[in-house]
């Protein structure tokens, strides 16, 4: 196609006006321009002084970005204290999630921990049971690492077919930030491990006293006790003042408001690693300790909450990640998986972190079935949803990393669809 992109407001209005009147939550509505701000006139913000320094001692996004927020699905859970609010992936770019937009998943509400009274207890099969204050943790050698964190239940509502219309809801239980903290190995060395130690129990100080068993080999490999995210102290929703970081493994293990680490020789089989976060297969048996998050990707724009507003040159943008290492490649398909082309990864590629990919296309207004497929450095290829279902059935809730399909319609609207 050779026609240049049509970007005038009037024709954009016409273009989307033919659609059925349903736009996903969070999709920004087009709005009439205010001629007095446009050339040749001089805008208000050019004529008048703005706020001085110090008026906004902790800066917030522009008031015009008010729709860039976490959202909930109220029918999903019995109570907001044990529920989830999703990252607005469709509004973000690059690989780093802003702290205030990182999805929330709590089991007993947000613990408001006074950092002065914060204590981390380390005991069990150790030579010296220890207690650290937050200041103690900050005095120890620290490292900075960028990791994704994905809830094992991300995309869990889609096992039986396309259900939620927006990548915020289908894929928004993932975020990616830079953590600052102490390598867990270093903390464990301070206490001294007994020779037959094999597992540890991480426990939160929240009203759920969240507990998960972590194999010691993982703890000694790359786990951290983090107290900062993206440079500032952890947000309360993310476990202020300290949380466990378990790179590449399911988010439930990343215990927030971490108050206790106990060393043992066997896993504890807590409620969260048996009755929850175990994957029920079709035969009625369940996989346990499915820690790694398999390679996964999603196109974040276009997506139901980020419709296409003009024909012509169009950038497809998405996120990919793998719990087994670095993302090596991302392919995209415009025809529901018949043909694939390799997308362009832009920005840094870190171990067990999100990568950003782009594919630039010319779009004529034809219906497209958009898909993305991530591959990681172990050779794992993100499977189709149907290939996953063939092995796992549809009851497992967790670890749904199947390929997502978005139908881009001639109106520019996008819908979450299932293809067969």
Q: Where are the beta strands (DSSP E) in 193-271?
A: 199-204, 211-215, 224-229, 232-233, 243-245, 258-264
User: From the CA atom positions of the chain, what is the Rg in Å?
Assistant: 23
- Scan residues 377-396 and list those touching another protein (CB under 8 A): 378-383, 387, 391, 394-395
Could you tell me how many residues of this chain bind another protein (CB under 8 A)?
Answer: 114
CA-based nearest residue to 242, from 253, 229, 230: 229
CA-based nearest residue to 249, from 293, 309, 299: 293
- By beta-carbon proximity to another protein, the closer residue of 99 and 267 is 267
Least separation in angstroms between residue 298's CB and another protein is: 14
User: Is 257 an interacting residue with respect to another protein (CB under 8 A)?
Assistant: no
- Report the alpha-carbon angle 178-179-184, nearest 5: 145
How would you class 106 by CB atoms within 10 Å of its CB: exposed for 0-12, middle for 13-18, buried for 19 or more? buried
Q: Where are the beta strands (DSSP E) in 118-187?
A: 119-124, 130-133, 143-150, 174-183
- Scan residues 119-138 and list those touching another protein (CB under 8 A): 121-123, 128-132, 136
- Scan residues 237-256 and list those touching another protein (CB under 8 A): none
- Scan residues 12-41 and list those touching another protein (CB under 8 A): 12-13, 16-17, 19, 21-27, 29-32
- By beta-carbon proximity to another protein, the closer residue of 237 and 272 is 272
- Scan residues 60-119 and list those touching another protein (CB under 8 A): 71-75, 77-79, 81-82, 107-108
Q: Which of 216, 224, 332, 407 binds another protein (CB under 8 A)?
A: 407
- By beta-carbon proximity to another protein, the closer residue of 16 and 233 is 16
Task: Give the distance, in angstroms, between the CA of residue 226 and the centroid of all CA atoms in the same chain.
Answer: 18
- By beta-carbon proximity to another protein, the closer residue of 209 and 233 is 209
Q: Which stretch binds another protein (CB under 8 A): 142-150, 172-180, 346-354, 412-420?
A: 412-420
Please name the helix (run of DSSP H) or strand (run of DSSP E) that holds residue 345, with its range, or none. strand 344-346
Least separation in angstroms between residue 54's CB and another protein is: 36
Least separation in angstroms between residue 227's CB and another protein is: 14
- Scan residues 290-349 and list those touching another protein (CB under 8 A): 290-292, 294, 304, 307, 309, 331, 335-341
User: Is 190 an interacting residue with respect to another protein (CB under 8 A)?
Assistant: yes
Long-range contact set of residues 70-75: C-beta below 8 Å, sequence gap at least 24: 70/101, 70/103, 70/104, 70/172, 71/25, 71/26, 71/168, 71/169, 71/172, 73/157, 73/164, 73/169
């Amino acid at each position: 196609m050779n026609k240049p992109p049509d970007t005038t407001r009037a024709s954009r209005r016409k273009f989307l006006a033919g659609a059925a009147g349903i736009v996903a939550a969070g999709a920004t509505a087009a709005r009439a321009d205010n001629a007095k701000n446009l050339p040749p006139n001089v805008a208000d913000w050019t004529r008048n002084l703005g706020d001085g320094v110090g008026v906004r001692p902790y800066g917030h996004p522009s008031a015009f970005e008010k729709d860039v927020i976490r959202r909930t699905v109220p029918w999903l859970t019995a109570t907001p204290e044990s529920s989830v609010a999703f990252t607005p992936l469709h509004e973000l770019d690059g690989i780093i999630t802003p702290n205030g937009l990182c999805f929330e998943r709590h089991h007993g509400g947000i613990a408001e921990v006074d950092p002065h009274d914060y204590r981390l207890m380390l005991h069990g099969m150790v030579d010296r049971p220890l207690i650290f204050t937050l200041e103690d943790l900050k005095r120890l050698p620290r490292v900075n690492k960028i990791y994704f964190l994905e809830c094992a239940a991300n995309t869990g509502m889609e096992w039986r077919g396309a259900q939620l219309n927006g990548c915020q809801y289908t894929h928004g239980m993932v975020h990616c930030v830079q953590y600052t903290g102490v390598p867990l190995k270093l903390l464990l060395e301070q206490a001294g491990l007994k020779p037959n130690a094999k597992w540890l129990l991480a426990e939160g100080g929240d009203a759920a006293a969240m507990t998960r068993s972590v194999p010691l080999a993982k703890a000694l490999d790359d786990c951290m006790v983090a107290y900062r995210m993206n440079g500032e102290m952890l947000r309360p929703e993310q476990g202020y003042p300290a949380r466990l970081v378990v790179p590449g493994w399911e988010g439930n293990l990343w215990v927030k408001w971490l108050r206790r680490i106990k060393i043992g020789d066997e896993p504890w089989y807590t409620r969260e690693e048996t009755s929850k976060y175990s994957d029920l297969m079709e035969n009625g048996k369940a996989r346990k300790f499915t820690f790694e998050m398999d390679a996964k990707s999603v196109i974040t724009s276009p997506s139901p909450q980020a419709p296409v507003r003009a024909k012509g040159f169009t950038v497809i943008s998405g996120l990919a990640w793998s719990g087994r290492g670095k993302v090596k490649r991302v392919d995209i398909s415009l025809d529901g998986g018949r043909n694939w082309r390799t997308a362009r990864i832009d920005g840094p590629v870190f171990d067990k972190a999100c990568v950003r990919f782009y594919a630039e296309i010319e779009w004529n207004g034809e219906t497209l079935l958009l898909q993305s497929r991530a591959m990681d450095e172990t050779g794992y290829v993100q499977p189709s949803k149907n290939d996953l279902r063939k092995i796992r059935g549809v009851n497992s809730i967790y670890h749904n990393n199947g390929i997502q399909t978005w139908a881009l319609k001639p109106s520019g609207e996008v819908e979450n669809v299932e293809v067969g």
